[in-house]
Amino acid sequence: MHSFGYRANALLTLGVTVLALMCAMASLSDNINVPSPSANVQVLNVNWFQKQSNGNDEVSLTLNVSADLRSMFTWNTKQVFVFLAAEYETTKNSLNQVSLWDGIIPSKEHAKFSIHTTNKYRFTDQGSNLRGKEFNLTLHWHVMPKTGKMFADKIVMTGYRMPEEYR
Amino acid sequence: MGWIGETMDSIKSLQIRQVLTQAVSLGMIVTSALIIWKALMCITGSESPVVVVLSGSMEPGFKRGDILFLHMSKDPIRAGEIVVFNVDGREIPIVHRVIKVHERQDTGEVDVLTKGDNNYGDDRLLYAHGQLWLQRHHIMGRAVGFLPYVGWVTIIMTEKPIIKYILIGALGLLVITSKD
C-alpha cells in the first residue's frame, strides 16, 4: 500500500486534478468580467474603385479605426484578436463578410488605439454589386484566453455607402 | 494429502482470479478512454473533438503543442472564427482563421477564405490547385476552447516512437506486476 509506485501515482493524480481545477476556475472567472468596449471607424477616402477583368468589383479604402478595448483584458487573457469587416447583402449572397484590417492586441496597454490604414486585405465582391451599395463596418474581437473558453463579440457600425461610379 | 491438494487448488484459483481481475481492469481503462472519446464526438458533433496545434501559423495565439477543443454546430460559419479544415490532397488538417465569408441567398452554401494569424498572406496557396474558396464540407469544426502545452505529449510520441513504446511497456508492466 505504501510502495513508491502508489505514492507517485497519488501525487501525479492530485497534481493533475489541481491543475485542471485551476484551469477551469481561471476560465470560469472570465464570465465575471463585463466589458464595455467602444469603437469608431471613418472611411477617409475611396482610393480607387473598379471592375476587375474577371467581372468582380474591387475597391480600395483608407480607414481610420479607433477603439478602446481595455475592458476586455482579464488576468486570463493572452491576447485579443481584433478585425474590421465590411458586411453587406447582395441579390446573390445573403451575407458577405470581407475582412479589411486586423490586428493582435497583446496587452491592456495597447488596447486603446487609433489607426490610419488602407485596407489590408483586398475588398473584392463576388460579382459586380458594389456601386452605390450600402454596407456596415463591424469591429469584431476574439478574446484568446491563457486557458479555457474563447470569447467573441462585435460592434456594428451602419450607414456607410459606396460611390455610385467607378473611379 | 487431501489438505495439500486443497491448498494447491486454492493457490491456482487465486492466481487465475488475479490475472482475470487485472485483465478486466486493463480492459476497463481502455474502454473508458474509448467511451470518453466517442462521447466527446457525439457532444461536439466533430469527428475529432480535440486537435493538437502543429505549426506556428497562428502564433502568438496558438503555439505548437497547444490543444484546441472543437465544436461543430449547425450555426453558420462567420468571419473571425477559427476553423479546422481539410484540403483535398492534404493529410493533416489546418487550424486557421476565417477572413472572408460569402453566403448564398438561395442555397445557403458558403464560400470561406482563411488565413493564419501569423502568416503574411491568405491560404489560397495552401488550398488545392485552382481552389479559391473553402466550402462547408471542408470544415471539420470550429475552435471553442484552448489548453496550452498538453499536446506536446502526442507530438513527442509521434515524432519519437521509441518513447511511446517505452511508456506503453512500462505501463503494461506496472499493471501486470501490481498486487491488489
One of 2.10.109.10, 3.40.50.300, 3.90.1150.10, 3.30.420.40 is the CATH number of B50-153, namely 2.10.109.10
Neighbour-count burial of B51, counting CB atoms closer than 10 A to its CB (0-12 exposed, 13-18 middle, 19+ buried): buried
Convert the pLDDT of each residue in B17-63 to its tens digit: 888 888 898 899 899 999 999 998 888 888 788 888 888 888 888 89
Please, which pLDDT band fits residue B179 given cuts at 50, 70 and 90?
low
- Give residue B10's pLDDT band: very low, low, confident or very high (50, 70, 90): low
Positive or negative, the Cα torsion across A118, A69, A73, A87?
negative
Instruction: Return d(Cα B67, Cα B58) in angstroms, integer.
Output: 12
Of B60, B147, B174, Cβ closest to residue A147: B147
Q: What is the 3-state secondary structure (H, E, C) of A86-148?
A: EEECCCCEEEEEEEEEEEEECCHHHCEEEEEEECCCCEECCCCCCCCCEEEEEEEEEEEECCE
Contact call for B99 and A91, based on CB within 8 A: no
**B77–A contact, CB cutoff 8 A:** no
Determine the length of chain A.
167
Q: How far is it, in rounded angstroms, from Cα B70 to Cα A149? A: 11
- Whose cell is 477543443? That residue is B69
Domain boundaries, chain A: 1-32, 33-161
For the stretch B133-165, pLDDT in tens is 999 888 888 898 888 888 888 888 888 889 889
Residue B178 and residue A23: Cβ atoms within 8 Å? Answer: no
Q: Is B176 exposed, middle or buried (0-12, 13-18, 19+ CB in 10 A)?
A: exposed
Quick check: A97 and B78 CB within 8 A? Answer: yes
Which residues of B are catalytic, by number? Answer: 57, 96, 123
Compute the distance between CA of residue A66 and CA of residue A63 in angstroms, rounded to an integer: 10
> How many separate helices (H) and strands (E) can be counted in chain B?
3, 6
User: Could you tell me which CATH number the domain at A33-161 has?
Assistant: 2.60.40
Q: Structural domain boundaries of chain B?
A: 1-44, 50-153
Nearest Cα of chain A lies from the Cα of B54 at a distance, in angstroms, of 18
Q: Which ipTM was obtained for this model?
A: 0.85
